[in-house]
Chain A
Amino acid sequence: RVHGDCYSNMATMTSKMFLPAISAEANEFSKPDWLTEELSTGTTIAAIEFDGGVVIGADSRTTSGSYIANRVTDKLTKVTDYIYCCRSGSAADTQAVADIVNYHLNFYKMEHGDEPSVRTAASTFRNLCYNNRDSLSAGILVAGWDKRNGGQVYTVPLGGMWTRMPVAIGGSGSSYLYGYVDANYKPGMKKDECLKFIANAISLAINRDGSSGGVVRLACITKDGVERFVLTGDQIPKFYEDS
């Protein structure tokens, strides 16, 4: 598992060892942006409910300014066996929050002897994001399956509000997708249609957003557990590309 901290440590170590001797006073302004910028999952994430579960998807680019720190990031993070979250915003903040929620939900499962509901997970995310809204920069989609209400998607954007939505998108690349989602979403889609919808959405955003790229990661969560897919290279859906 990749920690955001690991990369910033490496960056600091590198800068100390190999800083070019051009300027005696190397300050924050003379270092390139990829040594000083916080790691951001400037991103595209999407999630959709269907009867029987959810499909979630994300791109795989983590950037530090204009440097791509990780081109194969996994932004679909497990919080329980049946609940995943899609992370966008600061890599460090979202990893920390997801870890803490994972801890809380494990504790919940031990106490209650039963899987927590998606609503509980989303509420836990919301509590953390809202109470620390001044110091966090995290936009999260919580999606999963529970036996009470089936597949559910909750969005917890910046600021810490939460709401359930049948289809949700997030991250910097999501601006380009609102038109596509509004035009193409219809309630009652089946699992295969949902997979295609999310794959198309992520790949359209990757084409337009500089902070999104790499591979398309998908996951499908149903009562049978989680099925993960990766679309690389030619498998990524193509659209009319101008010459």
Chain B
Amino acid sequence: MPTEFTSLDDLSIGLNELSESGEKDLFYSPVSDGTTIIAVQYDQGVILGADSQTSRGRQLVSTKTRFKLARLHERIFCGTSGRCADSKAVLEVIKNRLHLKGIIEDSAPRVRVAAHIASKLCYEHRNNLETSLIIGGWDPVEGPQVYAIPIGGMMTQLPVAAGGSGSTYIYGYIDSMYKPGMSREECIRFVSNCVSLAMSRDSGSGGVIRLVAIDKDEANRMVLAGDEIPKFYQG
């Protein structure tokens, strides 16, 4: 029973099934996350950010308020991009395996373990999957960590990782603005700026900005909508 996703997502799955006819129209393209996801690590925690739009081949926006930052565990969240169906399938499996590992080891699972499970899964099925993940979280052993798992299943730990179609437009901004040692507020502003810039240039990203701020005390979900989204030079 999906608990993380709104009913609008179930609707989009239904439409996807209807579109198996293969005619060349809007409904032919699989539901895909034209997306922007980004995660930044700072001293005490991790900030994850994402847009909220799902589209079908860039012509039809099928969902405007999707929640792309899925919860794998209390302090571990995962942003996904690529084909929607693949992302959801992979997330369910990772959640299950992580939960099992937590029970077997009788302690909260580590972020590195979650990332390893994800990358092993993505690598084993690399010929069939088209999804890339960014896992961010906090654990008592290693503190805050961000792992990027692009298509193909490679896993790499980075201080800042961006993914999805919208991420190409903000690499220059990320490279120029990121410096180690930023505070929580600076990171939140950095992540919201990044997502907002990407949303204004990428047709596959849009809607609202969803943020998750994870540290040792809490995993706080936030939304920036409408006027709250940072504005830049519009030319």
Contacts and interface: CB of A to CB of B under 8 A. Distances in A.
B156 to A, nearest CB: 10
Contact of B171 (A165, A185, A201, A208): A208
Interface stretch (A47-55, A132-140, A170-178): A170-178
A33 B158 CA distance: 34
A12 interface: no
Contacts of B193: 183
A184 B159 CA distance: 23
B169 A175 contact: yes
Chain A interface size, under 10 / 10 to 19 / 20 to 34 / 35 or more:
20 to 34
A179 B194 contact: yes
Interface string B213-235: 00000000000000000001101
Contacts of B94: none
A205 B172 contact: yes
Contacts of B178: 240
Interface in A227-243: 239-240, 242
A69 to B, nearest CB: 25
B179 A182 contact: no
Contacts of B200: 182
B54 to A, nearest CB: 22
Contacts of A182: 173, 197, 200-201, 232-233
B232 A239 contact: no
Contact of A183 (B158, B159, B197): B197
B201 A179 contact: yes
A201 B179 CA distance: 17
Contact of B176 (A166, A185, A186, A239): A239
Contacts of A176: 168-172
Interface in B153-187: 158-159, 168-180
B179 A240 contact: yes
Contacts of A180: 170, 172-173, 176
A182 B12 CA distance: 33
A240 B174 CA distance: 9
A215 interface: no
A29 B235 CA distance: 46
B159 A178 contact: no
Contacts of A166: 235
B169 A185 contact: no
Contact of A200 (B176, B197, B232): B176
Interface in A171-217: 175-186, 200-201, 204-205, 207-208
Contacts of A240: 175, 178-180
Contacts of A200: 176
Contacts of A239: 175-176
Contact of B172 (A165, A185, A201, A242): A201
Interface string A34-55: 0000000000000000000000
B174 to A, nearest CB: 8
A175 B177 CA distance: 17
B233 to A, nearest CB: 5
A201 B235 CA distance: 18
Nearest to A168: B235
A181 B173 CA distance: 8
B8 to A, nearest CB: 28
Contacts of B188: none
B180 to A, nearest CB: 7
Nearest to A207: B175
Given A178-B197, A183-B193, A208 B233 contact: no
B198 interface: yes
B116 to A, nearest CB: 21
A179 B159 contact: no
Contacts of B169: 175-179
Q: Nearest 3 A-B pairs (CB), nearest first?
A: A179-B173, A179-B170, A180-B172
25 contacts: A165-B235, A175-B169, A176-B168, A176-B169, A176-B170, A176-B172, A178-B170, A179-B169, A179-B194, A179-B198, A179-B201, A180-B173, A180-B176, A181-B172, A182-B173, A182-B197, A183-B173, A183-B177, A186-B233, A200-B176, A204-B171, A204-B172, A207-B175, A240-B175, A240-B179
